[in-house]
Amino acid sequence: MSTREKILDAAAEILHNRGVMHATTKEIAQASGVSEPTLYKYFGDKERLLLAVLDERLPGMSRVTVRPGEGDVEDNLAALAHAASDFYQRAIPMLGALFADPRRMAAHREAMGRHGAGPEQAVAGFAGYLRAEQDLGRIARDADPGASASLLVGACFQEAFLRYYAHGVDAPAAPRAFAEGLARAVVQPLL
Protein backbone atom coordinates (compact mmCIF):
# COMPACT_ATOMS: atom_id res chain seq x y z
CA MET A 1 0.00 0.00 0.00
CA SER A 2 1.36 3.43 -0.93
CA THR A 3 2.10 6.13 1.63
CA ARG A 4 -0.73 8.25 0.25
CA GLU A 5 -3.19 5.37 0.64
CA LYS A 6 -2.04 4.74 4.23
CA ILE A 7 -2.60 8.40 5.07
CA LEU A 8 -6.06 8.38 3.48
CA ASP A 9 -7.08 5.20 5.32
CA ALA A 10 -5.94 6.58 8.66
CA ALA A 11 -7.55 9.96 7.99
CA ALA A 12 -10.87 8.36 6.98
CA GLU A 13 -11.01 6.33 10.19
CA ILE A 14 -10.00 9.18 12.47
CA LEU A 15 -12.30 11.70 10.79
CA HIS A 16 -15.18 9.22 10.99
CA ASN A 17 -14.62 8.65 14.71
CA ARG A 18 -13.52 12.11 15.86
CA GLY A 19 -14.72 14.57 13.21
CA VAL A 20 -12.74 17.25 11.44
CA MET A 21 -12.85 19.61 14.44
CA HIS A 22 -11.14 17.19 16.80
CA ALA A 23 -8.87 15.26 14.45
CA THR A 24 -5.35 16.60 14.07
CA THR A 25 -2.88 16.13 11.27
CA LYS A 26 -0.37 14.99 13.89
CA GLU A 27 -2.75 12.23 14.99
CA ILE A 28 -3.44 11.21 11.38
CA ALA A 29 0.26 11.16 10.52
CA GLN A 30 1.02 9.07 13.59
CA ALA A 31 -1.77 6.58 12.81
CA SER A 32 -0.52 6.20 9.24
CA GLY A 33 3.11 5.75 10.30
CA VAL A 34 4.45 8.89 8.63
CA SER A 35 5.71 12.24 9.82
CA GLU A 36 3.51 15.32 9.72
CA PRO A 37 5.72 16.94 7.03
CA THR A 38 5.18 13.81 4.90
CA LEU A 39 1.43 14.18 5.30
CA TYR A 40 1.68 17.82 4.18
CA LYS A 41 3.89 16.80 1.25
CA TYR A 42 1.06 14.64 -0.07
CA PHE A 43 -1.91 16.86 0.77
CA GLY A 44 -0.69 20.41 1.43
CA ASP A 45 -3.18 21.19 4.19
CA LYS A 46 -5.86 19.60 6.34
CA GLU A 47 -8.63 20.75 4.01
CA ARG A 48 -7.04 19.05 1.01
CA LEU A 49 -6.71 15.88 3.06
CA LEU A 50 -10.38 16.14 4.04
CA LEU A 51 -11.38 16.64 0.41
CA ALA A 52 -9.35 13.59 -0.63
CA VAL A 53 -11.04 11.50 2.08
CA LEU A 54 -14.48 12.74 1.04
CA ASP A 55 -13.76 12.07 -2.63
CA GLU A 56 -11.80 8.83 -2.41
CA ARG A 57 -13.02 7.09 0.74
CA LEU A 58 -16.73 7.90 0.84
CA PRO A 59 -19.38 6.76 -1.58
CA GLY A 60 -20.31 9.77 -3.59
CA MET A 61 -21.72 11.34 -6.68
CA SER A 62 -18.35 11.29 -8.44
CA ARG A 63 -18.66 7.50 -8.53
CA VAL A 64 -21.94 7.70 -10.47
CA THR A 65 -21.75 8.34 -14.17
CA VAL A 66 -24.81 9.82 -15.81
CA ARG A 67 -24.72 11.48 -19.18
CA PRO A 68 -27.35 13.87 -20.46
CA GLY A 69 -29.35 12.24 -23.21
CA GLU A 70 -28.52 8.72 -22.05
CA GLY A 71 -30.72 6.46 -19.98
CA ASP A 72 -33.89 7.51 -18.25
CA VAL A 73 -33.84 10.91 -16.49
CA GLU A 74 -35.66 9.51 -13.45
CA ASP A 75 -33.27 6.55 -13.18
CA ASN A 76 -30.29 8.88 -13.54
CA LEU A 77 -31.56 11.17 -10.79
CA ALA A 78 -32.27 8.16 -8.56
CA ALA A 79 -28.68 6.98 -8.99
CA LEU A 80 -27.37 10.45 -8.15
CA ALA A 81 -29.74 10.82 -5.18
CA HIS A 82 -28.76 7.42 -3.79
CA ALA A 83 -25.09 8.36 -4.03
CA ALA A 84 -25.75 11.75 -2.43
CA SER A 85 -27.65 10.19 0.48
CA ASP A 86 -24.82 7.73 1.11
CA PHE A 87 -22.23 10.48 0.88
CA TYR A 88 -24.02 12.81 3.29
CA GLN A 89 -24.68 10.03 5.76
CA ARG A 90 -20.97 9.24 5.93
CA ALA A 91 -19.86 12.90 5.85
CA ILE A 92 -22.12 14.24 8.62
CA PRO A 93 -20.12 12.62 11.47
CA MET A 94 -16.95 14.11 10.00
CA LEU A 95 -18.28 17.62 9.51
CA GLY A 96 -21.16 18.01 11.96
CA ALA A 97 -19.25 19.77 14.73
CA LEU A 98 -18.38 22.61 12.36
CA PHE A 99 -22.01 23.76 12.52
CA ALA A 100 -21.62 24.57 16.23
CA ASP A 101 -18.62 26.86 15.83
CA PRO A 102 -19.26 29.85 13.53
CA ARG A 103 -15.58 30.87 13.50
CA ARG A 104 -14.35 27.40 12.49
CA MET A 105 -17.20 27.09 9.99
CA ALA A 106 -16.17 30.37 8.36
CA ALA A 107 -12.55 29.20 8.15
CA HIS A 108 -13.67 25.88 6.69
CA ARG A 109 -15.92 27.62 4.15
CA GLU A 110 -13.04 29.88 3.10
CA ALA A 111 -10.66 26.92 2.75
CA MET A 112 -13.17 24.92 0.71
CA GLY A 113 -13.67 27.96 -1.53
CA ARG A 114 -9.93 28.12 -2.17
CA HIS A 115 -10.06 24.49 -3.30
CA GLY A 116 -13.19 24.96 -5.44
CA ALA A 117 -15.20 22.71 -3.16
CA GLY A 118 -18.13 22.93 -0.80
CA PRO A 119 -21.68 21.69 -0.35
CA GLU A 120 -23.04 24.01 -3.04
CA GLN A 121 -21.19 21.91 -5.62
CA ALA A 122 -23.73 19.08 -5.30
CA VAL A 123 -26.65 21.37 -6.14
CA ALA A 124 -24.68 22.90 -9.01
CA GLY A 125 -23.89 19.43 -10.39
CA PHE A 126 -27.49 18.21 -10.23
CA ALA A 127 -28.74 21.50 -11.75
CA GLY A 128 -26.16 21.27 -14.54
CA TYR A 129 -27.32 17.76 -15.38
CA LEU A 130 -30.97 18.88 -15.44
CA ARG A 131 -30.15 21.94 -17.59
CA ALA A 132 -28.39 19.68 -20.09
CA GLU A 133 -31.44 17.39 -20.20
CA GLN A 134 -33.60 20.49 -20.66
CA ASP A 135 -31.43 21.62 -23.58
CA LEU A 136 -31.95 18.18 -25.14
CA GLY A 137 -35.72 18.52 -24.75
CA ARG A 138 -35.98 15.63 -22.27
CA ILE A 139 -37.48 17.84 -19.58
CA ALA A 140 -39.84 20.80 -19.93
CA ARG A 141 -38.58 24.18 -21.09
CA ASP A 142 -40.30 25.93 -18.18
CA ALA A 143 -38.76 23.63 -15.56
CA ASP A 144 -36.44 25.18 -12.97
CA PRO A 145 -33.33 22.96 -12.80
CA GLY A 146 -31.85 24.92 -9.89
CA ALA A 147 -34.93 24.60 -7.70
CA SER A 148 -35.37 20.93 -8.59
CA ALA A 149 -31.73 20.23 -7.78
CA SER A 150 -32.03 22.06 -4.45
CA LEU A 151 -35.11 20.03 -3.51
CA LEU A 152 -33.44 16.74 -4.39
CA VAL A 153 -30.09 17.44 -2.73
CA GLY A 154 -31.79 18.97 0.32
CA ALA A 155 -33.96 15.89 0.76
CA CYS A 156 -30.88 13.65 0.53
CA PHE A 157 -29.12 15.68 3.20
CA GLN A 158 -32.22 15.68 5.42
CA GLU A 159 -32.56 11.90 5.18
CA ALA A 160 -28.89 11.45 6.03
CA PHE A 161 -29.24 13.78 9.01
CA LEU A 162 -32.34 11.96 10.29
CA ARG A 163 -30.61 8.58 10.00
CA TYR A 164 -27.57 9.91 11.84
CA TYR A 165 -29.76 11.51 14.50
CA ALA A 166 -31.82 8.36 15.05
CA HIS A 167 -29.09 5.73 14.84
CA GLY A 168 -25.73 7.43 15.26
CA VAL A 169 -22.55 7.19 13.29
CA ASP A 170 -23.13 3.65 12.03
CA ALA A 171 -26.75 4.10 10.90
CA PRO A 172 -27.90 1.87 8.06
CA ALA A 173 -27.79 3.52 4.64
CA ALA A 174 -30.98 4.78 3.06
CA PRO A 175 -32.41 2.17 0.72
CA ARG A 176 -32.33 2.67 -3.03
CA ALA A 177 -36.16 2.91 -2.91
CA PHE A 178 -35.81 6.18 -0.97
CA ALA A 179 -33.74 7.71 -3.79
CA GLU A 180 -36.13 6.34 -6.41
CA GLY A 181 -39.09 7.97 -4.65
CA LEU A 182 -37.29 11.31 -4.48
CA ALA A 183 -36.33 11.14 -8.14
CA ARG A 184 -39.90 10.29 -9.14
CA ALA A 185 -41.27 13.20 -7.07
CA VAL A 186 -38.82 15.65 -8.63
CA VAL A 187 -38.95 14.38 -12.23
CA GLN A 188 -42.70 14.07 -12.73
CA PRO A 189 -43.32 17.86 -12.69
CA LEU A 190 -40.34 18.37 -15.02
CA LEU A 191 -41.65 16.17 -17.83
Tens digit of each residue's pLDDT (9 = 90 or more) over 101-155: 899 889 888 888 888 888 888 999 999 999 999 999 999 999 999 999 999 999 9
Residues of the chain with CATH 1.10.357.10: 63-190
Angstrom distances, CA of residue 186 to CA of 24, 26, 112, 146, 191 = 40, 45, 29, 12, 10
Average pLDDT value for residue range 27-35:
96
Which CATH class for the 1-57 domain? mainly alpha
Say what the pTM is: 0.86
The CATH code that applies to domain 63-190 is 1.10.357.10
Average pLDDT value for residue range 6-20:
92
Residues of the chain with CATH 1.10.10.60: 1-57
What distance in Å separates the CA atoms of residue 18 and residue 31, rounded to the nearest whole number?
Answer: 13
The CB density around residue 180, as the number of other CB atoms within 10 Å, is 17
The reported pLDDT for the residue numbered 117 is: 84
